[in-house]
Structure 1
Amino acid sequence: MQNQISLKRTLTLFPVVIFGLAYMAPMTVFGTYGIASEISHGMLPASYIVALIAMLFTAYSYGPMVRAYPLSGSAYTYTQKSISPHLGFIVGWAILMDYLFLPMINILLNAIYLSAAFPAIPMWVWIVFWVIVLTVINILGIKVTTNVNTVLVLFQVLVVIIFIALSIKGVAGGMGTGTFLTALPFFNPEVSYAYVLAGASILCLSFLGFDSVTMLSEETIDAKKTIPKAVMLTAFIGGLWFILVSYIGYLVYPDYTAFTNPDSASLELAEHIGGTLFSSLFLAGLVTTGIASGLSSHASVSRLLFAMGRDGILPRKIFGYIHPAFKTPVYNIILIGIFSLSALFLDLVTATSFINFGALVAFTFVNVSVIAHYYVKQRKRSPKETIRYLLLPVIGALFNIWLWTNLDKHALLLGTIWAACGLIYLLFMTKVFSKRPPEMHFEDVESM
């Protein structure tokens, strides 16, 4: 009998949490700093608190689902096995939307930063440049290794620590608010909390990654205990980090209306506290974040499309093709590169909303899956179990739906169209639900 190859369980809690925090990226907080400050009317820390609370309820719901299904696939797997394979396909389709837009977001952010730093060069030039660079590197098969990623993350942490130190020095010298304690970024009677909620819906992008640790379920020792703890810790630590950095940013630069360009406001903030030298270092940190995240997200989605092509979900001749010399899914990589050119005509608010649409759909169904699996199927309905498997997941789902309704209207429209396309494709693949839908193997993305 032939031995079946499987993933090796070697990871403990600490490296799994580090993986999640690295995926979230320490400098993510600056990616949407300006636009989120503008949307929340200066109450960015409050928006992060709302987003964190919503994410913690969802993070809690990941725990029971990991214990029930310690497999790769995250929200897709949980929905498929707990509720319905057909609904699971739609959730997987929504997750695919995240994968498709992530490379474009990183390219757009890098273009915004570099265009602000070098205004003589049009932004479209930077967009085309980064599309070509990331596409070519992925075709050649060059991957960002764990060691390189660690160095990049440490560099980002160093930049943020310097940012905090310079900000504290500036505030102590009378810059900004001139005080280290103020309640205004958390509660301002002149600002409606509707703006805080609108800001929170944008900030979901910052939390993408806390759920990524569930993808390591098949490589983690005692995954049923370790992964739930890692999900909660990653979300909580990441959320506290975002609240701290945004609060420090408010102290040193409280007037969000003074930013010349909200998209690149973080660069203006860096120059404000540290001059040209720190601004250059800060720009390097932002671009480094975009390169690392852009390369990995581009590689991930191209391999996800390959897995779907190999399994017959998408046309095998195109999506299931591997280049004989480079050993990479060349057609998929090129297609993602072409798709990333959408950065030429999308603004940052709309682009981030597209990703948040899919993320909030996935997060909502993680909560619903807990109810379906434990409360409905397994009939766990004691007072304690009702709180764990009904009340808390309902609150988590409602939080996500609440944030979802505050998304950009264009994102809601495109997301609905995307979901409708997935439903039409599902009807075709299943011959109007007469057979089981094809399965998306998300675990293949992690192992390639």
Structure 2
Amino acid sequence: MSAPSEPNPSSPPSAGTAAAPGASADAGLRRTLTFRDLIVYGLLFIAPMAPVGIFGTLQAKSHGAITIVYVVATVAMAFTAYSYAQMVRVAPQAGSVFTYARAGLGEGAGFVAGWMAMLDYLLIPAVAYLFSGIAMHALVPSVHQWVWTALAVVVTTLLNLLGVRAAAVAGFVVLAMELAVLVVFVVAAVWVLVTDGAQRGWSEPLTGEGAFSTSAVLAAVSVAVLSYLGFDAIASFAEEAKDPKAAPGAPHGKGGGQRAGAVPVARAVLTCLVLAGVLFAVQTYLAALLAPMSADELAAHPAEQGDAFYTTANTAVGEWLQKLVAASKAIGAAFAALAGQAAAGRLLFAMARDRRLPGAMSKVDAGSGVPRRALLGAAVVTLVAAVWAARRDDGLDHLSSIVNVGALTAFGLLHASVIGWFWVRKRAERPNVLKHVLVPVLGLAVVVAVIVEASATAQTVGAVWLVVGLVVLAVQYGRRKGGETGGKPGGDR
């Protein structure tokens, strides 16, 4: 039995059942998402062609070994995915890493994990919306990019407010479109390679141009892992996932309704990472073989790096493919933001349900079954950040430089939570050294290495956000202690 001040992950709230302590009676989410829906949300947030925007940068950093960079990055992120799969079985709730850190490390660490993840979940959609606005402005220059950016926020927010199923269906259509464009690129690239041959050696995307450089590959990996941010959002839908093995009318999963989302979410997190890794490796390998500029040339001309993938598509195949990829990125970025906004809403909902944020955001709309106020709160913050950045020439640089530290810090606490729950607190009958110590330690090492490689701006913003979170935590702790000593039952709970 957990201490009164600790969460009890063995009895989390579930849709249609009793809510967490302090939650409102209508705080249950509906189990409507299938395994396919979870994969759709994960791949949407990641984006199947995520390497397009940083292809040139990674080519230059890795000395041409971009494909091996993504192979290594997939393995590196697999440690985090595995830790998610471990903890979602412990606490299958909407709060994701906020809930997991509470379980493994305690209330304070849980708040810090949720607070740091909030920075990422609110700003990554803003970056995606800005990408969409920039791409649409390039296609329709007469309309300013901030207008396209704001329009993308409004449209996707309305879809999220309609309900998780409606958003999942729309997301599936867009994801199918993105995958179709990727297939067109792959087929066209293979055709050019067969008929005209490669611009580079067939092994160069794996070994690099000239001598292989381990340090260069690792430096590029620290950037490439950021392409995967988003697969973890799947865990936010644990209370809305259906167990496909549950009998009709029966509680889902072996542990009943409270465990319903654990198995499909764990499988979806791992599956999504593997799928993304394969897609990233294939497209970067083909693009690297056809690239008109070498890695050294890209390194010498940084201004060419951002358009390197588009330039490759245009030079090797034709302008039609370049425009097709650009249009796909414009639409895909907006729907990546849709998935991110949905995940942000669930995080805010879970933290509000635990009285860590204003309780109004813990309400679930009776008609749509979504946390409407939490979604609108996330949408407002994202809209302000995205439009602000869209109206500045350096807006993208400012946003993109700070979005990652929050997620990476939360990942670090996730790995620590696995060790805390299974090994320190010994909540499992037989803690496994490999699964519950070695894997999370390696994952933590990867996270620390990436944070160290982050820009000074990102580190500064992350540190300031952390300090603000610690102040908020201290205030909340003081209020609860004051409520207890003052004779008020439950403090602010």
TM-score normalised over the length of structure 1: 0.82
Matched, 1:274 2:340: no
Distance 1:408 1:192, change over 3 A: farther
Within 2, Cα distance between the matches of 1:316 and 1:381? 36
Within 2, Cα distance between the matches of 1:331 and 1:7? 18
Matched, 1:338 2:378: no
1:110-168 deviation digits (Å, cap 9, x = unpaired): 344456667x779xx31x12333134446767756332211111111111111111111
Which letter maps to 2:323? Answer: S
1:166-181 matches, within 5 Å, as 166-177=188-199, 181=202
1:243-266 deviation digits (Å, cap 9, x = unpaired): 111111111116243575322333
Matched, 1:91 2:113: yes
Matched, 1:231 2:265: no
Deviation at 1:197, TM superposition (A): 2.3
Distance 1:299 1:13, change over 3 A: closer
Within 1, Cα distance between the matches of 2:407 and 2:377? 26
Distance 1:115 1:14, change over 3 A: closer
Number of the residue aligned with 2:412: 364
Matched, 1:412 2:459: yes
1:317-370 deviation digits (Å, cap 9, x = unpaired): 9x8999xxxx86767644432222135254656633422212211222221111
Number of the residue aligned with 1:396: 443
Whether the 8 Å contact between 1:31 and 1:109 is mirrored in structure 2 is no
Which letter maps to 2:152? Answer: L
- Segment drifting more, 159-168 vs 29-38: 29-38
Which letter maps to 2:452? Answer: T
Within 1, Cα distance between the matches of 2:482 and 2:331? 46
Which letter maps to 1:241? Answer: L
Q: Can you give the 5+ residue segments of structure 1 that lack an aligned partner in the other structure? A: 439-448
SS at match of 1:73: coil
Within 2, Cα distance between the matches of 1:205 and 1:52? 11
Distance 1:40 1:415, change over 3 A: farther
Deviation at 1:425, TM superposition (A): 1.9
1:161-200 matches, within 5 Å, as 161-177=183-199, 181-187=202-208, 190=211, 192-200=213-221
Matched, 1:244 2:282: yes
Distance 1:82 1:307, change over 3 A: closer
| Percent identity of equivalent pairs | 26
1:388-444 deviation digits (Å, cap 9, x = unpaired): 2111211111122112211122111111111111112222222288479x9xxxxxx
Number of the residue aligned with 1:106: 128
Number of the residue aligned with 1:443: none
Number of the residue aligned with 1:446: none
Deviation at 1:284, TM superposition (A): 1.3
Matched, 1:428 2:446: no
The number of residues matched between the two structures is: 427
Number of the residue aligned with 1:158: 180
SS at match of 1:72: coil
Distance 1:39 1:415, change over 3 A: farther
SS at match of 1:263: coil
Whether the 8 Å contact between 2:89 and 2:262 is mirrored in structure 1 is yes
Distance 1:3 1:406, change over 3 A: closer
Matched, 1:29 2:48: no
Whether the 8 Å contact between 2:67 and 2:205 is mirrored in structure 1 is no
Whether the 8 Å contact between 1:135 and 1:334 is mirrored in structure 2 is no
Number of the residue aligned with 2:13: none
Which letter maps to 1:242? Answer: F
Deviation at 1:89, TM superposition (A): 0.8
Whether the 8 Å contact between 1:349 and 1:408 is mirrored in structure 2 is no
Deviation at 1:296, TM superposition (A): 4.5
Deviation at 1:202, TM superposition (A): 2.1
Within 2, Cα distance between the matches of 1:295 and 1:235? 19
TM-score normalised over the length of structure 2: 0.75
Distance 1:38 1:352, change over 3 A: farther
Whether the 8 Å contact between 2:389 and 2:396 is mirrored in structure 1 is no
What is the root-mean-square deviation of aligned Cα atoms in Å?
3.6
Whether the 8 Å contact between 1:24 and 1:208 is mirrored in structure 2 is yes
Whether the 8 Å contact between 1:152 and 1:292 is mirrored in structure 2 is yes
1:51-106 deviation digits (Å, cap 9, x = unpaired): 21111112112222122212222111110121021111111111111122123211
Within 1, Cα distance between the matches of 2:49 and 2:341? 19
Which letter maps to 1:59? Answer: A
Within 2, Cα distance between the matches of 1:367 and 1:300? 20
Which letter maps to 2:77? Answer: M
Whether the 8 Å contact between 1:370 and 1:389 is mirrored in structure 2 is yes
Matched, 1:205 2:226: yes
Whether the 8 Å contact between 1:48 and 1:203 is mirrored in structure 2 is yes
Distance 1:132 1:429, change over 3 A: same
Distance 1:88 1:307, change over 3 A: closer
1:195-249 deviation digits (Å, cap 9, x = unpaired): 3223222222321232222223232313444332322221112112111111111
Deviation at 1:305, TM superposition (A): 5.5
Which letter maps to 2:272? Answer: T
Distance 1:108 1:194, change over 3 A: farther
